[in-house]
Amino acid sequence: MNNSFQNFITTLQHDLQQPLPGRAAQYNMAPQPRPGGELDDSPNPDARQSSVLILFYPYEDTVYFPLILRPTSPGVHSGQIGLPGGGFEAGDSDLFHTALREAQEEIGIDPSLITILGQLTTLYVRPSNNLVLPVVGWAAERPTFLPDPREVALLIEASLLEFLNPANRRTEVWELAARTANVPFFGVQNQTVWGATAMILGELLVLPAMRQAPGLVQA
């Protein structure tokens, strides 16, 4: 691993050990107005404990991470772009284990090749009643992906630089389930990344390490 990748990972791991940007950064990418309140949007007592994995890896002289397109189904996140992950199960030792297990089940990655760097701020996803812990990991090489077609309609290898490009961050007025809302989203690879996934990435992208992303042209 060359110095630019090593510096990025070292700085990111340090950032994740410091006080995080938190809900204010998440809510910059949240549809407005929000049902159920703003920064005090507390989870229901029966919210399911869940986690997702942001897995960085070196590819094409920069940093990539996988996203997935959920298949069309009766679920509330049907047909949406998300991060690999899911709900805590009885055999999981903790939510870090949940994220690794779900990523292995959904996209076929080998958990033994992943180094956990830390976590972002837990996010309550009201539509699915999930309290989600975003876990951040690193693989020294591009993984071999084996998506499960029952859970993944499309695997997207996304460059971090795509999300750091201001031109790919947009806002539109959408008609959601019960309201008209201003919806911020990332438009990458002809896909729309919005909602909880955009909120999680919104916090990640303001960390100081992002300014050291390999391949980023500094102004």
Mean pLDDT, all residues of the chain:
92
pLDDT tier at 37, thresholds 50, 70, 90? very low
Based on its alpha-carbon atoms, the radius of gyration of the chain, rounded to whole angstroms, reads: 17
Q: SS3 for 80-111, per residue?
A: CEECCEEECCCCCCCHHHHHHHHHHHHHCCCH
Residues 95 and 77: their CA atoms lie apart, in Å, by 21
Q: Is the pLDDT of residue 40 over 60?
A: no
Peptide bond into 208 cis (omega under 30): no
pLDDT digits (tens, 9 = 90+) for 161-214: 999 999 999 999 998 877 788 999 999 999 999 999 999 999 999 999 999 999
Q: What are the tens digits of pLDDT across the range 130-169?
A: 999 999 999 999 999 999 999 999 999 999 999 999 999 9
User: Which region holds residue 136: left if phi is over 0, alpha if psi is between -120 and 50, else beta?
Assistant: beta
pTM recorded for the entire structure: 0.94
SS3 for 40-73 is CCCCCCCCEEEEEEEEEEEECCEEEEEEEECCCC
pLDDT in the model for residue 74: 60
Reduced to 3 states (helix: H, G, I; strand: E, B; else coil), residue 130 is: strand
The two tokens of residue 204 are: 């990640």
How far is residue 96's CA from residue 116's CA, in Å, rounded to a whole number? 8
Q: For residue 53, what are the β-bridge partners?
A: 135
Q: How many CA atoms lie within 13 A of 163 on its CB side?
A: 30
pLDDT-derived band at 121 (thresholds 50, 70, 90) equals very high
Distance CA 10, CA 180 (A): 42
Q: What is the pLDDT of residue 2?
A: 84
Token reading at 13:
């791991």
The pLDDT value recorded for residue 38 is 52
pLDDT in tens, 70-118: 987 665 556 789 999 999 999 999 999 999 999 999 999 999 999 999 9
The confidence score (pLDDT) of residue 217 equals: 66
Burial of 91 (0-12, 13-18, 19+ CB in 10 A): exposed
Q: If you count them, how many residues does the chain have?
A: 219
- pLDDT given at position 219: 44
